[in-house]
Amino acid sequence: MRVILLTHTPEPDKVVAAAARLCYSPHSGAELMDNFRPEQVREFLSRLISLGHYSPFEHAVFTFAVDGVSRALSHQLVRHRIASYSQKSQRYVQEKAFDYITPPAIAQNEEQKRVFDNLMQEIARYYAAAVAAGIPAEDARYMLPNATATNLVITMNARSLHNFFRLRCCERAQAEIRQLARKMLKEAKQAAPALFAVAGPSCVTEGVCHEGDMSCGRVQASARGNRI
């Protein structure tokens, strides 16, 4: 899996803080970025986070390139609705020798990994034969597994990213999407350290767990909730 932050709103920390500043300032929009010292920016963002006032975070947008993840993972991403996604097409890109992602539980079981690898190879043979026989790729793709590797471009605003990190950095999230979330968080923190100073699973950011009986036990569950 490879994650690259392609682009983001210039000066994201400052833009969000300036948007919040507007709510409490007589200054016009043209003046919001003027004479706004770094320590003031950090103070504004810290205040917003402590109050749970995340709507100004929507003014900062981040675009990531993600390579080498499974279709199983990409199906989970659509549950995060305030985002934009572009994905490698199986209609226009043939998958005759597709790469695939092996989940940890299978990778650690020698016998099951052998079965899994053989199955992937068999599917690849059937797929290639179908395409060679004139079946359009858009129809042949129906036999491809969720394990098939794919590439994505993901765009989210900072508020949606905070929600994504809270849910998907959690130990209860599936291993692959948890790895993705942690890599994205690392990139986001480098670009906007104040915006994401307090970002991650609720057990880390709030000291509470919302997984109920499903809690991993890092902290005592304080509420019951469902994985989005």
Length of the chain: 228
Residue of 81, 168, 172, 227 marked active site? 168
Q: Do residues 74 and 148 touch, judged by C-beta distance below 8 A?
A: no
168 has catalytic annotation: yes
- Catalytic residue numbers, as ranges: 168
